[in-house]
Amino acid sequence: MSQSHAATYTNGSIFSHVVSLSMTSAIGLFAIFIVDLVDVFFISILGESELAAAVGFAGIGLFLGAAVCIGISIGISTVVAQSLGAADEAEAKRFATNGLLYTLLWTIPTTIATMYYAPELLSLVGAADKTLELAVMYFRIVGVSLPLLGFAMAGTSLLRAVGDAKMSMWSTLIGGLVNAVLDPIFIFTLKMGLSGAAIASVFSRVTVTAVAMYGVFKKHELYAPTNLQSFLRDAKQLNGIVIPSLITNLSGPIGSAFATAQMAKFGTDAVAATSVIGRITPVAFAGLYGLSGAVGPIASQNFGAGNYQRVRQTLIESFKFSCLYVIPVAILIYLLQQQLVETFGLKDEAAELLEFYTTFIVISYLLFALQLAANPIFTALRHPGFSTISNMARDLLLGIPLIYIGAMYFDARGVLAGQAAANAIAGVLTFAVAMWLTRRVENGQSIEIGSLRTRWHHYRAIAPGVQHRGH
């Protein structure tokens, strides 16, 4: 039986929608992130700092592929949510079908390129000798499943776009559980070590994809007949959002790669500590990453339905959620710093680096959250280029010089401080621009830029994703 898809987020409390969608997304993400953290814990038990460092270096390369998948999923979920908001279910199903096919255009070439150039890619960020060899091995095992990750991310985003946050949560939650079960079996029982952890991650991606596709195709019947002409037409429209979103998300791996390269100057212990920090952060702040995935569908449905006041309200309620989430989490991490140091066996400079992070850096995520809330608003308003500018400013214009200066004067601590400062400045500026833009939308003013003169409230006649590219 065909399932009707109502515009779930166009009615009711915006704050309730933000909390519900953010937390259901966060639960699934938490399951994956906590397994990544457990990976590092298991690897630390093996007693070689090079192993933990290798995971840290490989993570930068894997981040590159994930950034591509995130950009694609943002584009697909945005056009589907806007179509549902405009009560055009047929268009939503067509975009979903062609959008999933569209992921292959990006993920297959990316997989081939990164597999081939893995040694060069990881050596650029500072991996060398035995650590490089281990990092390449780990990266190639996990990275070959990038097309599956593309389908998994697109599928979970589509589920959120149609209002089924619980199914999206369960797909990632079950994937995380599979990883958690297989990790100790592969690493210790089968004595596969680092390669075992990588293989467990691949099985996890397979599981998330399978569950998400079940939700998309079987539960919601979110598919439609397609052909080459239809696919090319929709692909062209998706490009309007996906390409800026890809550029937006690719600036993150570049900034992280530079930070890792700077951290590598201070030895493998510093990189190992950074690897632990890189796993603690997403676990602790899964709610913020869930928020980033929640804002887009809510704002997109309301924009498609013409509820422009609710678009602005989504941004405001997201800030309230961020405050309620970040402050207690930051306090908890601070109180647990010694337990974290002992759990992961960090000593001397590595322990001091983690203590510095838990004391001074974690609270800065309150300002970073402003950007996570604002960027999806830009995409919902069909200005994905604004997100591109904000992320590039954060990671390249601000991040690189601040990290470099921090490393020069304050060593490894300066790297963390430079990243935090860039995140905070970009967060405040991005949120301010989003507030200005949504106010204009709410007041019926044009949000066009440059030489384009069409007013925003006429855009529904044009296919979603074509206009508002933020030139």
Domain boundaries, the chain: 23-461
Contact of 466 with 237, CB cutoff 8 Å: yes
Closest CA to 90 of 80, 100, 99: 80
Residue with structure tokens 């007041």? 443
Give CA–CA dist 261/271, Å, rounded: 9
Alpha carbon separation from 233 to 102, 381, 438 (Å, rounded): 11, 21, 29
Question: The tokens of 46 are what?
Answer: 């093996």
- What 3-state DSSP class applies to 221? coil
Each residue's pLDDT, cut to its tens digit, for the chain (471 residues) gives 345 555 678 888 999 999 988 888 787 667 767 777 777 777 777 767 678 788 878 887 888 888 888 889 888 988 898 888 888 889 999 999 999 999 999 999 999 999 999 999 999 878 888 889 999 999 999 999 999 999 999 999 899 888 888 898 899 889 888 988 998 899 889 989 889 999 999 999 999 999 999 999 999 999 899 999 999 999 998 988 888 878 777 788 888 889 988 998 888 788 878 878 888 888 889 888 888 878 988 888 888 888 889 999 999 999 999 999 999 999 999 999 999 888 887 888 888 999 999 999 999 999 999 999 999 898 888 787 788 899 899 999 999 999 999 999 999 999 999 999 999 999 999 999 999 999 988 887 777 655 333 333 333 322 232 222 222
Give CA–CA dist 394/429, Å, rounded: 10
Q: What pLDDT was estimated at residue 7? A: 60
Alpha carbon separation from 282 to 39, 277, 413 (Å, rounded): 14, 9, 20
- What 3-state DSSP class applies to 48? coil
Give CA–CA dist 405/383, Å, rounded: 33
Taking every pair of Cα atoms in the chain, the longest distance, rounded to a whole number of angstroms, is 65
